[in-house]
């Protein structure tokens, strides 16, 4: 069955006009007061949408306010040093978001005179601006009816329309984008898209939806048939790989701490960290020899002071924090440096390594 035909079948006998009206009315009455909703500035909308990917609203608010204070305009962000941007993002995770955002904003400044484009193709061609972010910016900032479909929206519409497609599949996302195109308000696409997002965040939550408080309950097929907790359908994720490490707090005779910058690409790119010994490749007894080979320093491994477990979407770091002192040698590692403990705040660290900061001798 063609997707258009499928969309028509799903929406058959569904009162689109009434659903639209009820959702928008509820959103205008009940929406949360959030800093990025103060106006329709497309740059603010863009920054907020990137920050909100994979991150809770309560966590994002102080980061957003701080980020906008530091980089209030596209020009300010475009001209900033990448390390300064990563420092402002420190703790939010998924750091490629920050790098992609800055690269895309630089393109906006150079190609569009600092004005975020309102053209769907131009906006969608920017680095890190996928269909969801594009739809959010166009609808919220420019009142252009464009679907903004993420996991929240797919969950809501899976229940409202009783769609049993696996939402982890790209084909399901395409289907929901087509459904939103049919449902979205032409007059107020901003409130419609934000209403769907807000409904998913506050009412139509993943495990225990608050159906009795739902403003569109009378339109919900899943509620009507008592299957709201069975939707959406989503295939289970692959099991995360566990990777054991020693995290080394290395200090020299001056009390300076050894830190290193991660590679420019890949996981946590360009952030700073303490040296990590991959225990899958190096035995505990060989750490001092391994360290000499990697860094050109002879060291003495001391006590274990903490265990840190950090969960990424695809793997888990299990790290034992070990204190280490330098005995002799000259540092020989192009991405590593010794710094005074009081200067730690100048360098962006991932959350996993920030947890080791208190164990530095100061």
Q: What is the pLDDT of residues 315-325, one digit of tens each?
A: 999 999 999 99
Q: What is the mean pLDDT of residues 19-37?
A: 97
Classify residue 9: in a domain, yes or no. Answer: yes
Q: Same structural domain for residues 100 and 192?
A: yes
Model pLDDT for residues 263-276, shown as the tens digit of each residue = 998 999 999 999 99
Cβ-based burial of 150 (10 A; exposed 0-12, middle 13-18, buried ≥19): buried
Q: The domain spanning residue 280 has which CATH number?
A: 3.90.79.10
- Domain final residue pick, 230, 257, 282: 230
Quote the percentage of the chain above a pLDDT of 70. 100
Quote the percentage of the chain above a pLDDT of 90. 92
pTM of the model: 0.85
Q: Say yes or no to pLDDT of 1 above 80.
A: no
Taking alpha carbons only, the member of 171, 211, 157, 203 closest to residue 11 is 157
Q: Same structural domain for residues 159 and 121?
A: yes
Classify residue 235: in a domain, yes or no. Answer: no
Q: Please check whether residue 159 is in contact with residue 225, taking contact to mean a CB–CB distance below 8 angstroms.
A: no
Q: What is the mean pLDDT of residues 181-194?
A: 98
Q: Same structural domain for residues 14 and 140?
A: yes
What does each C-alpha distance from 88 to 62, 96, 260, 262, 271 come to in angstroms?
11, 13, 19, 17, 12
Q: Say yes or no to pLDDT of 201 above 80.
A: yes
**Residue 285, domain extent:** 241-359
Q: Same structural domain for residues 184 and 301?
A: no
Q: What is the mean pLDDT of residues 214-236?
A: 95
Q: Say yes or no to pLDDT of 221 above 90.
A: yes
Classify residue 316: in a domain, yes or no. Answer: yes
What dihedral do alpha carbons 54, 60, 65, 70 form, nearest 10°?
-40
Classify residue 347: in a domain, yes or no. Answer: yes
Q: Where are the alpha helices (DSSP H) in 131-212?
A: 131-142, 151-160, 170-183, 189-202
What pLDDT sits at residue 3?
Answer: 84
Q: What is the mean pLDDT of residues 214-243?
A: 93
Q: Same structural domain for residues 320 and 193?
A: no
- What average pLDDT is seen over the chain? 95
Model pLDDT for residues 277-332, shown as the tens digit of each residue = 999 988 888 999 999 999 999 999 999 999 999 999 889 999 999 999 999 999 99
What pLDDT sits at residue 346?
Answer: 95
Active-site position among 29, 30, 38, 49: 49
Q: Same structural domain for residues 249 and 283?
A: yes
Q: Same structural domain for residues 204 and 246?
A: no
Classify residue 176: in a domain, yes or no. Answer: yes
Say how many Å lie between the first and final Cα of the chain, rounded: 68
- Domain final residue pick, 192, 211, 230: 230
Known catalytic membership, residue 49: yes
What pLDDT sits at residue 236?
Answer: 79
Q: Say yes or no to pLDDT of 33 above 80.
A: yes
pLDDT band at 30 (very low <50, low <70, confident <90, very high): very high
Overall number of domains in the chain: 2
Q: Same structural domain for residues 179 and 200?
A: yes
What pLDDT sits at residue 362?
Answer: 85
Q: What is the mean pLDDT of residues 114-136?
A: 96
Model pLDDT for residues 105-120, shown as the tens digit of each residue = 999 999 999 999 999 9
Q: Same structural domain for residues 260 and 334?
A: yes
- Domain final residue pick, 165, 200, 230: 230
Q: Same structural domain for residues 74 and 219?
A: yes
Q: Torsions phi, psi of 204, nearest 5? A: -90, 60
Classify residue 214: in a domain, yes or no. Answer: yes
pLDDT band at 238 (very low <50, low <70, confident <90, very high): confident
Q: The domain spanning residue 224 has which CATH number?
A: 1.10.340.30
Q: Same structural domain for residues 184 and 56?
A: yes
SS3 per-residue string spanning 15-73: CHHHHHHHHHHHHHHHCCCCHHHCCCCHHHHHHHHHHHCCCCHHHHHHHHHHHHHHCCC
Classify residue 247: in a domain, yes or no. Answer: yes
What pLDDT sits at residue 314?
Answer: 87
Q: Say yes or no to pLDDT of 222 above 80.
A: yes
Q: Say yes or no to pLDDT of 54 above 90.
A: no
pLDDT band at 124 (very low <50, low <70, confident <90, very high): very high
Q: Same structural domain for residues 317 and 345?
A: yes
What pLDDT sits at residue 268?
Answer: 94
Classify residue 289: in a domain, yes or no. Answer: yes
Helix-strand-coil percent breakdown of the chain, rounded to 5?
50, 15, 35
């Amino acid at each position: 069955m063609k997707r258009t035909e499928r969309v028509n079948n799903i929406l058959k006998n569904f009162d689109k006009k009434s659903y639209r009206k009820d959702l928008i009315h509820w959103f205008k009455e009940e929406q949360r007061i959030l800093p990025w909703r103060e106006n329709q500035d497309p740059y603010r909308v863009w920054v907020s949408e990137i920050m909100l990917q994979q991150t809770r609203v309560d966590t994002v608010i102080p980061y957003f306010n701080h980020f906008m204070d530091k980089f209030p305009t596209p020009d300010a962000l475009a001209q900033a040093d990448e390390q300064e941007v990563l420092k402002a993002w420190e703790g939010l995770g998924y750091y490629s978001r920050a790098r992609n955002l800055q690269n895309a904003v630089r393109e906006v400044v150079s190609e569009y005179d600092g004005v975020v484009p309102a053209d769907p193709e131009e906006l969608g061609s920017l680095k890190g601006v996928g269909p969801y972010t594009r739809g959010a910016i166009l609808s919220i900032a420019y009142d252009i009816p464009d679907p903004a479909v993420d996991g929240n929206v797919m969950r809501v519409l899976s229940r409202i329309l009783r769609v049993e497609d696996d939402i982890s599949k790209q084909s399901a996302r395409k289907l929901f984008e087509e459904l939103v195109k049919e449902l979205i308000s032409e007059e107020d696409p901003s409130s419609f898209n934000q209403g769907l997002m807000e409904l998913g965040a506050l009412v139509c939550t993943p495990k225990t939806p608050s159906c009795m408080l739902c403003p569109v309950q009378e339109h919900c097929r899943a509620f009507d048939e008592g299957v709201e907790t069975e939707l959406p359908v989503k295939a289970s994720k692959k099991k995360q790989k566990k990777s054991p490490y020693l995290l080394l707090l290395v200090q020299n005779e001056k009390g300076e701490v050894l830190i290193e910058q991660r590679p420019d690409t890949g996981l946590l790119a360009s952030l700073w960290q303490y040296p990590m010994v991959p225990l899958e490749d190096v035995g505990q007894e060989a750490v001092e020899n391994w360290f000499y080979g990697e860094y050109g320093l002879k060291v003495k491994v001391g006590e274990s002071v903490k265990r840190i477990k950090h969960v990424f979407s695809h793997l888990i770091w299990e790290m034992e924090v070990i204190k280490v002192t330098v005995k002799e040698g000259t540092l020989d590692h192009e991405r590593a440096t010794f710094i005074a403990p009081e200067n730690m705040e100048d360098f962006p660290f991932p959350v996993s390594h920030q947890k080791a900061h208190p164990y530095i001798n100061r």
